């Protein structure tokens, strides 16, 4: 932050020499001079965002947000080869200016002053910098169906730096691990300290819930009520540490996903306290909450009022809804995300509350971001109840939408529900294991279902182990399906050590990872700290995840499924080029099943034996015995 007020300096100088000064001029003249200085120097520059930019971007346009007291009364100028100030936009609030710049492709990295003048005199300047783009190998790789994502909440994973547990000056300074709604002290350094643990587990990609500043008075730990888009929350670390975290992860062969929120901010956001204009937010005569009805966005019969409430209603009272039809808001958000990607070199983005955003803007956002970073991967959160609803939001569905969203993938909540039904449900024509088959049969609605992020739970829902009644056989069934299914698998932190709990009433689904804090009674990052069953779960996930890393069939292979018969569901992942095939057999019943493989000749011709991926045992292939409540994963030979 830059604060420059020459009036204060003048006043101090005047007070120090009052007697001498008054001996030479009359008090009336002194008053006139003070008022003149006050008029001249009333402006105060507080911030410019983005605070720096990059030379050689695909889009030559850049819009700078300038904020400061009465800044609109200033004139602005700059001189730098290849950079032009096209327009100075004044808006409703005189504390803002929006500067439209163009940066020529030939513009070189360097620094130059942006000068602010009033009444013909320069009052201050901001040294702006264009940096070279970082073209180092291994940056912005993209996240694909070759990867295995580990989702964690940094506040609840590990405390690697106790010095930032409490930061004075922020709204919330309480640190209380006994409460699910206060901060616990986990941070980015804690994640860095355990990257080797994740790599050993077979994880290839780390996704943290938002790390940017959330200076909110309550529940500031989760990150989804941003109060400064360009600043890592100091209780997590610094911008430089976040960049270092990405670099260390890349050096270890791990990728990084950043979680971003287009839809809303927190009520303590600095620009919420001093809005640039009324239309910066979606405003209502009285508080109006979103209906959470995603159907209104796609329903051809929907009321315009219902659609508006879904898109423009506020998520909760503490999260004001941004108006993404406002071009200044559009530029601000898009540039912020591009800035973070280029600055830190992250590999993918997860888009929070995707369905609540303005659809036309989000399509434009996707084009602009992908133009700068062709290899970046993006998936949107769509916690909906039907495959068609999910597919509606994905790229390629131009017939249904009239335009392309360019969204690569979604969080596949309907497949998650189908897996639960397949594990927990009673088999029937459309129930039990048949639900899983039927859900996958709708993959024709997606342009590419392999880009969907598949999961069993996350930070907003009951944990998987609790949802299967803490039945370890069902746990193994679900994890086997997750790590062999089409799409990009994501696992919530602690699932590998059987962390449990339901989403209501106490938020215990966001409990601390045992061993992440100095003084924890058990350190479950190491085998000696885990129980026998926890080690069995860890080893089970590790075995499958690391097999997946070496299996072209599971990484890039096609999916072929067969209609369930005798309550047994079979699907294959196969890769024609490598001739690799994995056969997955799901028996969700309480009885052992005998499975003849004759029916699967399309995929099993020439196969003489199979290896159980978990046990390493060779399986007699003609007639396979499938134990009760088991998912067999077989590598065919």
- Residues annotated as catalytic are 352, 381
Mean pLDDT score of the chain: 93
pLDDT attached to residue 5: 42
Crossing angle of helices 413-424 and 472-482, in 10° steps, is 140
DSSP state of 17: T
The strand pairing partners of 287, in sequence order, are none
* Strands 610-612, 205-208: pairing kind: unpaired
- Tell me which residue of 491, 359, 476, 493 sits closest to 423, measured CA to CA: 476
Coil, helix or strand at residue 623: strand
Question: Contact 481/429 with Cβ under 8 angstroms?
Answer: no
* pLDDT over 80 (residue 238): yes
CA 271 to chain centre: 22
Question: Mean pLDDT across the stretch 438-444?
Answer: 98
Residue 144: count of CB within 10 angstroms of its CB = 20
What pLDDT score was predicted for residue 622? 87
User: Is 503 a residue whose pLDDT tops 60?
Assistant: yes
Kindly tell me if the per-residue pLDDT of 341 is higher than 70. Answer: yes
- Residue 631 in 3-state DSSP? strand
For every residue of 540-583, DSSP letters joined together read: HHHHHHHHHHT-HHHHH-EEEEEEEETTEEEEEEEETTTTEEEE
pLDDT higher than threshold 60 for residue 179: yes
- Residue 386, SS3? coil
Whether pLDDT at 7 is above 60: no
> What gap in Å lies between CA 325 and CA 379, rounded to an integer?
22
Place of tokens 């808001």: 329
What are 63-102's pLDDT values in tens digits? 999 999 999 999 999 999 999 999 999 999 999 999 999 9
Query: What's the average model confidence in pLDDT over 202-207?
Result: 98
Q: What is the 3-state secondary structure of 158-203?
A: CCCCHHHCCCCCCCCCCECCCCCCCECCCCHHHHHHCHHHHHHHCC
pTM value is: 0.93
How far apart CA 152 and CA 493 sit, in angstroms, is 5
Average pLDDT over residues 128-141: 97
**pLDDT class of 6 with cuts at 50, 70, 90:** very low
Strand order in the sheet with 121-131: 53-54, 121-131, 110-118, 75-78
User: Average pLDDT of 476-494?
Assistant: 98
pLDDT beyond 70 at 620: yes
Structure confidence at residue 598 (pLDDT)? 94
- For residue 505, whether the previous peptide bond is cis, meaning omega lies within 30 degrees of 0, is yes
pLDDT of 32: 41
Centroid of chain to Cα 317: 22
Distance CA 439, CA 337 (A): 34
C-alpha pair distances (Å), 55 with each of 61, 104, 367, 372: 11, 8, 19, 12
305: Cβ–Cβ under 8 A, 6 or more apart, which residues?
none
CA–CA separation, 9 and 37 (whole Å):
11
Question: In this structure, are residues 64 and 98 in contact, taking their beta carbons and an 8 Å threshold?
Answer: yes
155, HSE (Cβ side, Cα atoms, 13 Å): 30
Both tokens of residue 637?
Answer: 């030979």
| pLDDT given at position 397 | 84
Place of tokens 């609540």: 356
User: Which domains does the chain possess?
Assistant: 6-131 (2.60.40.10), 557-636 (2.60.40.1180)
b (16+ CB within 10 A) / e for 77-89 = ebebeebebeeeb
Which residue reads 């509350």 in tokens? 353
Neighbouring-strand partners of residue 125? 115
Q: What is the pLDDT of residue 590?
A: 97
> Is the model's pLDDT at 38 over the cut of 60?
no
* Band of pLDDT at residue 471, cut at 50, 70 and 90: very high
Percent of the chain with pLDDT over 90: 89
Strands 623-626 and 593-596: antiparallel
**41 has pLDDT over 50:** no
Query: What does the pLDDT read at residue 108?
Result: 98
How is residue 142 written in tokens? 């993209």
- Say whether pLDDT at 614 is over 50: yes
Which pLDDT value is given to residue 576?
Answer: 80
Question: Which candidate, 396, 336, 347, places its Cα nearest to that of 373?
Answer: 347
- Say what the pLDDT of residue 40 is: 44
Angle at 266 between CA 262 and CA 267, to 5 degrees: 135
The whole-number pLDDT of residue 33 equals 40
The yes-or-no verdict on residue 228 having pLDDT over 80 is yes
Which residue reads 């294959």 in tokens? 572
DSSP assignment of 299-340, as one string? -TT--HHHHHHHHHSBSBTTBPBB-TTSHHHHHHHHHHHHHH
Length of the chain: 637
CA atoms of 236 and 189, how far apart (whole Å): 8
Q: 3-state class of 358 per DSSP?
A: coil
What is the C-alpha to C-alpha distance for residues 410 and 378, in angstroms, rounded to an integer? 8
- Measured CA to CA in angstroms, residue 16 lies from 10, 12, 21 at distances of 10, 6, 9
Backbone phi, psi, residue 572, to 5°: -125, 145
Structure tokens at 334: 């898009």
- Torsion, Cα 325 328 333 337, to 10 degrees, reads 130
549-to-140, 393, 449, 493, 553 alpha-carbon distances in Å: 20, 29, 20, 19, 10
**SS3 sequence, 514-528?**
CCCCCCCCCCCCCHH
What lies within 8 Å, CB to CB, of 230 at 6+ separation is: 49, 50, 51, 212, 239, 336, 339
d(CA 235, CA 214): 10
- pLDDT value, residue 42: 66
Tokens of 553: 């069939």
219 pLDDT band, cuts 50/70/90, is very high
Closest alpha carbon to 112 in 134, 89, 129: 129
């Amino acid at each position: 932050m830059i604060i420059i007020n020459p009036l204060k300096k003048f006043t101090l100088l005047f007070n120090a020499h009052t007697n001498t000064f008054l001996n030479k001029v009359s008090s009336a003249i002194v008053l006139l001079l003070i008022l003149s200085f006050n008029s001249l120097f009333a402006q105060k520059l507080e911030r410019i965002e983005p605070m720096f930019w990059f030379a050689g971007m695909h889009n030559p346009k850049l819009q700078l947000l300038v904020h400061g007291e009465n800044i609109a009364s200033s004139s602005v100028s700059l001189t730098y080869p290849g950079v032009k100030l096209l327009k100075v936009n004044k808006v409703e609030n005189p504390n803002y200016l929006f500067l439209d710049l163009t940066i020529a492709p030939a513009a070189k990295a360097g620094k130059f002053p942006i000068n602010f003048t009033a009444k013909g005199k320069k009052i201050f300047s901001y040294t702006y910098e264009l940096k070279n783009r970082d073209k180092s190998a291994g940056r912005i790789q993209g996240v694909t169906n070759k990867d295995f994502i580990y989702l964690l909440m940094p506040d609840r994973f590990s405390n690697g730096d106790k010095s930032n547990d409490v930061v004075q000056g922020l709204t919330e300074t309480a640190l209380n691990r006994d409460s699910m709604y206060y901060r616990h002290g986990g941070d980015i350094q804690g994640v860095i300290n355990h990257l080797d643990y994740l790599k050993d587990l077979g994880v290839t990609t780390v996704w943290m819930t938002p790390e940017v500043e959330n200076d909110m008075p309550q529940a500031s730990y989760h990150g989804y009520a941003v109060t400064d888009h360009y600043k890592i929350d100091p209780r997590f670390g610094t911008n430089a540490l976040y960049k270092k975290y990405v670099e260390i992860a890349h050096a270890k062969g791990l990728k990084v996903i950043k979680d971003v929120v287009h839809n809303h901010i927190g009520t303590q956001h600095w620009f919420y306290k001093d809005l640039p204009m009324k239309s910066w937010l979606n405003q209502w005569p009285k508080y109006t909450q979103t209906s959470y009805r995603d159907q209104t966005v796609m329903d051809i019969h929907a009321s315009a009022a219902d659609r508006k409430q879904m898109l423009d209603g506020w998520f909760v009272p503490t999260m004001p809804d941004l108006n993404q039809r406002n071009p200044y808001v559009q530029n601000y958000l898009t540039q912020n995300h591009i800035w973070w990607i280029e600055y830190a070199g992250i590999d993918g983005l997860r888009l929070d509350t995707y369905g609540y955003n303005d659809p036309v803007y989000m399509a434009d956002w996707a084009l602009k971001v992908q133009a700068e970073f062709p290899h970046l991967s993006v998936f949107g959160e769509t916690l909906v109840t039907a495959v068609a609803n999910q597919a509606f939001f994905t790229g390629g569905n131009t017939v249904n939408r009239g335009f392309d969203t360019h969204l690569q993938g979604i969080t596949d909540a309907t497949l998650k529900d189908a897996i639960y039904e397949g594990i927990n449900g009673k088999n029937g024509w459309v129930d039990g294991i048949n639900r899983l088959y039927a859900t996958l049969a709708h993959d024709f609605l997606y342009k590419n279902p392999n880009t969907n992020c598949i999961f069993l739970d996350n930070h907003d829902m009951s944990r998987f182990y609790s949802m299967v009644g803490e039945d370890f056989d069902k746990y193994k069934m679900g994890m086997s399906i997750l790590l062999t299914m089409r799409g990009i698998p994501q696992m919530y932190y602690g699932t590998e050590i059987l962390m449990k709990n339901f989403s209501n009433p106490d938020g215990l689904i966001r409990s601390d990872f045992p061993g992440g804090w100095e003084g924890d009674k058990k350190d479950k990052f190491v085998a000696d700290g885990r129980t026998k069953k926890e080690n069995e779960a860890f080893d089970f996930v590790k075995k499958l995840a690391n097999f997946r890393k070496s299996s072209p069939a599971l990484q890039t292979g096609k999916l072929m499924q067969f209609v369930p018969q005798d309550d047994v569901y079979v699907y294959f992942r196969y890769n024609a080029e490598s001739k690799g095939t994995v056969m997955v057999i799901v028996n969700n019943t309480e009885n052992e099943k005998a499975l003849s493989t004759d029916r699967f000749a399309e995929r099993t011709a020439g196969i003489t034996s199979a290896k159980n991926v978990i046990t390493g045992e060779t399986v007699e292939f003609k007639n396979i015995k499938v134990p009760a409540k088991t998912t067999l994963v077989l590598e065919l030979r």
